């Protein structure tokens, strides 16, 4: 079993099937799964996206420039982080939100040493605000935080059960990989994560596991090494 993990969650998934906003049922479902693995002794850091509220690149279509759009997206991740933190706290799980840009008293400013200390103390630590810089996705932020906190593995929870050679939602004949290297994933242009995140994980020998987080119980299964997704190796 892993001692410390970084869990990347999709903001869009928090909206359930509604497309936008936060679905309370989905929030509680995620929080319950997270608390379950913490109770098993796993230290959990989380990076969550903000696409259910605002995506930076989508702002370009409405005349918002990329830098401001990405900054709005960073703030969207903070809203999701606070929602997940509040839900976990209500379940009795100690949780802290650390942001990549200063916004006290809403949340504390990110510091890797502070994060590692909180994880050791049994807190779930949610990293909000992406990297703090425009032009970088929350995928890249998750890879960066995983390396900084010394995670054993980066788990990416998605709505599909791993990495395929094409979109399984569009191609019923898509082939699923049980394992794949970062080199092959980049060479095949498999965009389950952006290329910057893949490259950072590869350079720092960070394992990644892609699985379907929307199926209740799957997070505990991957922690217990059940093979239900795709392992990405350096």
Dump pLDDT digits (tens) for 19-38.
789 999 999 999 999 999 99
Dump pLDDT digits (tens) for 58-109.
656 677 989 999 999 999 999 999 999 999 999 999 999 999 999 999 999 9
Where do the domains of the chain lie, and which CATH numbers do they carry?
4-233 (3.40.1160.10)
What secondary structure, in 3-state letters, does the chain show?
Answer: CCCEEEEEECHHHHCCCCCCCCCHHHHHHHHHHHHHHHCCCCEEEEEECCCCCCCHHHHHHHCCCHHHHHHHHHHHHHHHHHHHHHHHHHCCCCEEEEECCCECCCEEECCHHHHHHHHHCCCEEEEECCCCCCCCCHHHHHHHHHHHCCCCEEEEEECCCCEECCCCCCCCCCCEECEEEHHHHHHCCCCCCCHHHHHHHHHCCCEEEEEECCCCCHHHHHHCCCCCCEEEEC
Average pLDDT, the chain: 94
Dump pLDDT digits (tens) for 137-164.
999 999 999 999 999 999 999 989 999 9
């Amino acid at each position: 079993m892993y001692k410390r993990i970084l869990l990347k969650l999709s903001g869009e998934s928090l909206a359930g099937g509604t497309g936008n906003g936060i679905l309370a049922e989905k929030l509680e479902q995620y929080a319950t799964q997270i608390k379950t693995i913490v109770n098993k002794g796993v230290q959990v850091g989380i990076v969550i996206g903000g696409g259910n509220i605002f995506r930076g690149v989508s702002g370009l279509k409405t005349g918002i420039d990329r830098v401001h759009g990405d900054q709005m997206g960073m703030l969207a991740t903070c809203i999701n982080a606070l929602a997940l933190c509040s839900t976990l706290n209500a379940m009795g799980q100690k949780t802290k939100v650390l942001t990549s840009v200063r916004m006290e008293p809403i949340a504390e400013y990110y510091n890797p040493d502070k994060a590692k200390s909180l994880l050791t103390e049994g807190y779930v630590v949610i990293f909000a605000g992406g990297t703090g810089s425009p032009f970088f996705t929350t995928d890249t932020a998750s890879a960066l935080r995983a390396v900084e906190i010394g995670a054993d593995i980066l788990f990416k929870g998605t709505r599909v059960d791993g990495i395929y050679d094409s979109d399984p939602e569009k191609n019923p004949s898509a082939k699923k990989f049980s394992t794949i290297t970062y080199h092959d994933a980049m060479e095949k242009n498999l965009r389950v994560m952006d290329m910057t995140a893949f490259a950072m994980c590869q350079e720092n020998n960070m394992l990644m596991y892609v699985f379907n987080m929307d199926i209740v119980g799957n997070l505990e299964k991957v922690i217990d090494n059940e093979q239900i997704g795709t392992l990405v190796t350096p």
